[in-house]
Amino acid sequence: MSKQDESQFQPYVSASTSMPEATFRAIILGVVLGIIFTAANAYLGLYIGMTVSASIPAAVISMAILRKVFRGGTVLENNIVQTVASSGESLAAGIIFTIPAFFIWHATRGDVMVPSITKIAYISLLGGALGILMMIPLRRMLIRDEHATLPYPEGAACANVLIAGEQGGANAKKVFAGVGIGALYKLGTGTGIWLENLDLHFRVPAKAFVGINSIPALLGVGYILGPRISAIMLAGGTLGTLVLVPIIAFFASGSTTPIFPATEELIRNMDGETIRLTYVRYIGAGAVTMGGILSLLKSLPTLLKSLSRGLSRVKAAAKSSERTDLDLPNWLVFWGAIGIGLLTWTLAPHTPIIIPLIVVFGFIFVMVASRIVGLVGSSSNPVSGMTIATLLGTTVLFVGLGIVGTIGMAAALLVGAVVCVAVCAAGDISQDLKTGYLLGATPWKQQVGEFIGVIAGASIVGAIVYLLGESYGFVYSAEHPNPLQAPQANLMAILIEGVMESKLQWDLIFFGMLLSVIVEFFGVTSLAFAVGLYLPVGLSVGIMTGGLLRWARERKQGVSDGNDPGVLYSSGLIAGEALLGIILALLATLHVAYDGAAGILGIAEVPVTIVLYCGLLYSLWHLSKRTVKA
């Protein structure tokens, strides 16, 4: 963006205008919403490996509460609310993608200690603060100077919602309606009154099956993602259960000995889901790994451009006295980043080499993530790929240095966790600062709000992960027959343990990698396809249902924008189910029985589930109608 273009840009609120912004009520409301959406995203991410942004729902709720309760609220106050709220929930992705691997190792190996709630919060604080501090010097270059070339789609959409704030009250009702309906539906499935999963098994081809997880969160996620990504995920899921599972069953039907990695059971005696868990899941792990690496390679030009221009542009950044161009002081950013880098040593005192690894990987990937989300949005930010690259690089280096075994595995995962949280935080603050730039917010106040949001999110995310791990589990067992999938964390555990101990299922892993490469040849984003292949097919079918509704609604009403009421209602469905799921997990942890209604419908469970799910679909279709004003 040229200096002339820069001077012509005028934000919604001019630099000379003074209005309430980082008020006490805005910060408190942002903290409360941040805690709610952090909990919801932690649950959702552990369930299906995806999270959703809280910016737009938080902005809409903020406008309604500040207007109805406090009889006021400026556009800049609402911006601070969504900034604080989204900063907290961004931590959830970084933590749930990595930390549950400790729970998985503890359950499967028994020789790895699970970090305490306090330590998980500490990791969140270090990673979140590091990501924010490393992004701040990039603001002028990415947000201001490249305003015309980096659209930051989520940030721009949130700004549009805030500018159209006169609709806030009506749209907020859709968010709250989604919360209520999502919670009520989860209450029915959580207590066993009706079913959560419906499966259909085929005789031909043998062992083939499909299913659907008929829950509100997946429906909401599918609507938010849209039909294209939902369909790509479904393609991966159906390839696994309708093609790969029957092929494995057919060619192994005559085998009289177990085929590795199975050690006791014959494939011909396994059902379709067992074959998927034993063999197809490793293929999916390879596909996800390659999908992450390919997404990172595709962003390599962006990475090189950022590295070549970043340091010189940051060093030569123009100093400004305008309110809308004031960042936190450089000395605070510099010494803060140095201090946090040194504090990471306390995570693994026996392996101080983690300090340069975290700083180097963190700096590189924060820079590339901040630019990538500006081009394609946060949903396409290859966080998994960057974390996988960090883990593989760290693990290979550790093996070369002789840092192996439990100590090496734990240290490598801690490096990946801090970097992953930093990347997520950097992507979030980039979108928030774009929103603020369009609105005319004060950057340093938003940056302080990001730190407050990180503290709020860190205070709850460790307890949520512990609670869900204890109640639902992350590994199949007699105690946890329906564990949370935690796909990224399972993948991280497989990769680190496999490299450290040289026991990866390389044939299956490489086959999955080849599938991702083939998919990329067709111009399809392989990471979404790979995630669908790795997860149970019922999750992809549930997501696709929401995607089809989004497609039908857009065909009827035109292309959606950031103020789509269906997106707001879907966000409410996700939050409502997640919060009720956490409450049920808490009751289970406290040994409070809540499943006395299980089986009450008897043989009517299936038809009742179908009818109620259809009602849920209708509610999304009905409440996604756009309100048109003259």
By residue count, the chain amounts to 630
> What tokens appear for 407 in the block?
């100590």
For 32, phi and psi rounded to 5 degrees?
A: -65, -50
Q: Which residues of the chain are under the pLDDT cut of 50? A: 1-5, 166, 168, 310, 314, 316-318, 627-630
Q: According to the model, what pLDDT value does residue 629 have? A: 40
Compute the C-alpha angle 558/561/565, nearest 5°.
90
- The Cα–Cα gap between 127 and 424 comes to 9
Write the DSSP assignment of 525-540 as a string of letters.
Answer: -HHHHHHHHHS-HHHH
The CB-side HSE value for 566 (13 A sphere, CA atoms) comes to 31
- The Cα–Cα gap between 105 and 381 comes to 28
Give the alpha-carbon dihedral of 216, 207, 522, 387, to 10 degrees. Answer: 60
Write the DSSP assignment of 335-402 as a string of letters.
Answer: HHHHHHHHHGGGG-TT-TTHHHHHHHHHHHHHHHHHHHHHHH-GGG--HHHHHHHHHHHHHHHHHHHT
Residue whose C-alpha is closest to residue 454's, from 209, 23, 54, 90: 90
Amino acid at 22: A
Q: According to the model, what pLDDT value does residue 375 have? A: 65
Amino acid at 426: A
80-103 pLDDT per residue, tens? 999 999 887 788 888 988 999 999
Q: Mark out the alpha helices in 377-442 (DSSP H runs).
A: 383-401, 405-439
Q: According to the model, what pLDDT value does residue 57 have? A: 82
Q: According to the model, what pLDDT value does residue 137 have? A: 86
Q: According to the model, what pLDDT value does residue 391 have? A: 85
- The Cα–Cα gap between 301 and 307 comes to 10
Name the burial class of residue 575, with classes exposed (0-12), middle (13-18) and buried (19+) by CB atoms within 10 angstroms of its CB: buried
Q: According to the model, what pLDDT value does residue 630 have? A: 29
Q: According to the model, what pLDDT value does residue 3 have? A: 46
> What tokens appear for 246 in the block?
């029957």
* pTM summary value: 0.78
- The Cα–Cα gap between 298 and 309 comes to 19
Q: According to the model, what pLDDT value does residue 312 have? A: 52
For 211, phi and psi rounded to 5 degrees?
A: -160, 180
Buried b (16+ CB within 10 A) or exposed e, 226-252: bbebbbbbbbbbbbbbbebbbebbeeb
